Amino acid sequence: MIEKIYKNKYMATCDNCGTGQEFDNWADIMEFMWEEGWKKKLVDGEWKHYCTECYEA
């Protein structure tokens, strides 16, 4: 999940295990997820985000 947590902060969290990290902007989140191999999946009309460990399991 990606959510805005402060005025200028975002949080990327794995929807399975809860692992997460805070970022200053949307572009940094996308870069982090791509570099770390996170995957996204559309589930019941909502995007879910999974860290590499959870997606491979």
Residues with Cβ within 8 Å of 3's Cβ and at least 6 positions away in sequence, in order, are 10, 11, 13
The residue ranges of every structural domain in the chain are: 2-56
Please give the torsion angle defined by the CA atoms of residues 5, 7, 9 and 12, in that order, rounded to the nearest 10 degrees: 30
pLDDT at 43: 92
The Cα 20–Cα 18 span in angstroms is 6
Maximum CA pair distance of the chain? Answer: 35
pLDDT digits (tens, 9 = 90+) for 3-46: 999 888 999 999 999 999 999 999 999 999 999 999 999 999 99
CB atoms within 10 A of CB 11: 15
Q: What does pTM read for this prediction? A: 0.83
